[in-house]
């Protein structure tokens, strides 16, 4: 009889333990899943980048003019940029961007005997770009990407006069002045970019980044009046620095 009394409570305890154990495991699994969801950053397919640009041009050319020749030289430059990238797949993004820079243009006129004038202007270039960014280093805090791009370059209307007044040049040509003007407004060209994004915030939405890019760009000009015409390679190497917002 005693054995029977002892066996009944023991059986009840075993049944209760087995019935409550799965419930405890389910609660633990739910808590673990919630913790993982909190730790895992939100998937962000878009990033907006914006900032400043420092450009290196250093193009130079010389063309025959009437009279003599005209030297055109480019140096330095700077501006701003903005770009929006969509992550097509984890290793590839498609970027749409715009960049505007201004570069110093130095124009010197020469004749067969002497140099007779120099003037300086600013040539503006705006580029609309579309490019593929291949992400070959991709972690939670760092993204390094590189890829080719196509660009539509638009140049500002530009004109500069160089020469001398009546007292310094005895043989006049249109009162001693030569005018050099833009011959083309735009072109479609290509380029390439290498960049990096560094995550700044815990949520991963704000970044700091930089890039180096190259554009194959050619500016055409002509003498007005006169037969002289030519082209000069801008080919800017651009260093960009700025912020990014992922969403």
User: Quick one: pLDDT at residue 43?
Assistant: 63
User: Quick one: pLDDT at residue 185?
Assistant: 77
Strands 60-64 and 159-163: unpaired
User: Quick one: pLDDT at residue 246?
Assistant: 94
Question: CA-CA distances (angstroms) from residue 83 to 48, 64, 65, 125, 213?
Answer: 6, 41, 41, 17, 13
Strands 229-233 and 218-223: antiparallel
User: Quick one: pLDDT at residue 38?
Assistant: 47
Over residues 74-82, mean pLDDT = 92
24: CB partners within 8 A, 6+ apart: none
| Ordered DSSP codes for 139-160 | -SSEEEEEEEEEEEEEE---EE
Residues 127-139 have pLDDT tens digits of 999 999 999 998 9
User: Quick one: pLDDT at residue 42?
Assistant: 61
User: Quick one: pLDDT at residue 172?
Assistant: 37
Cα distance between residue 37 and residue 44, in whole Å: 15
Residues 7-55 have pLDDT tens digits of 655 555 555 555 544 544 545 555 555 545 444 556 679 999 999 999 9
160: CB partners within 8 A, 6+ apart: 105, 107, 119, 120, 121, 179, 180
Residues 93-123 have pLDDT tens digits of 999 999 999 988 777 766 655 555 566 778 8
Give the model's confidence band at 170: pLDDT under 50 very low, under 70 low, under 90 confident, else very high.
very low
User: Quick one: pLDDT at residue 166?
Assistant: 45
Q: Please name every residue paired with 148 in a beta bridge, in sequence order, or none if there are none.
A: 192
User: Quick one: pLDDT at residue 175?
Assistant: 44
Mean of per-residue pLDDT scores for the chain? 77
Answer for the pair 216, 190: CB distance below 8 angstroms, yes or no: yes
Residues 26-38 have pLDDT tens digits of 455 555 555 454 4
pLDDT at 6 over 80: no
- Nearest C-alpha neighbor of 121 from the set 83, 92, 156: 156
Cα distance between residue 54 and residue 48, in whole Å: 19
Residues 191-222 have pLDDT tens digits of 999 999 999 998 889 999 999 999 999 888 77
Cα distance between residue 234 and residue 7, in whole Å: 95
User: Quick one: pLDDT at residue 7?
Assistant: 60
User: Quick one: pLDDT at residue 55?
Assistant: 95
Question: Which segments within 7-158 are labelled E, that is strand?
Answer: 46-56, 60-64, 69-89, 92-110, 115-138, 142-155
């Amino acid at each position: 009889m005693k054995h029977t009394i002892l066996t009944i409570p023991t059986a009840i305890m075993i049944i209760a333990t087995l019935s409550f154990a799965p419930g405890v495991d389910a609660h633990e699994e739910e808590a673990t899943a919630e913790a993982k969801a909190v730790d895992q950053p939100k998937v962000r397919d878009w990033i907006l980048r914006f900032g400043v640009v420092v450009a290196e041009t250093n193009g130079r050319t010389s063309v025959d003019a009437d009279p003599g020749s005209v030297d055109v030289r480019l140096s330095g430059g700077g501006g701003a940029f903005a770009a929006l990238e969509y992550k097509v797949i984890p290793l590839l993004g498609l970027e749409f961007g715009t960049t505007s820079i201004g570069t110093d243009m130095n124009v010197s006129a020469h004749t067969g005997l002497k140099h007779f004038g120099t003037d300086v202007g600013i040539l503006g270039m705006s580029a609309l770009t579309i490019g593929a960014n291949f992400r070959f280093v991709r972690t939670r805090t760092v993204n390094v990407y590189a890829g080719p791009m196509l660009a539509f370059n638009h140049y500002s209307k530009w004109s500069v006069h160089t020469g001398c007044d009546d007292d310094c040049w005895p043989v006049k040509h249109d009162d001693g002045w030569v005018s050099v003007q833009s011959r083309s407004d735009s072109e479609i060209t290509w380029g390439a970019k290498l960049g990096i994004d560094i995550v700044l915030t815990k949520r991963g939405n704000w970044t700091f980044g930089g890039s180096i890019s190259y554009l194959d760009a050619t500016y055409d000009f002509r003498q007005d009046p006169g037969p002289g015409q030519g082209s000069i390679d801008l080919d800017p190497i651009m260093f960009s620095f700025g912020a990014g917002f992922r969403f």
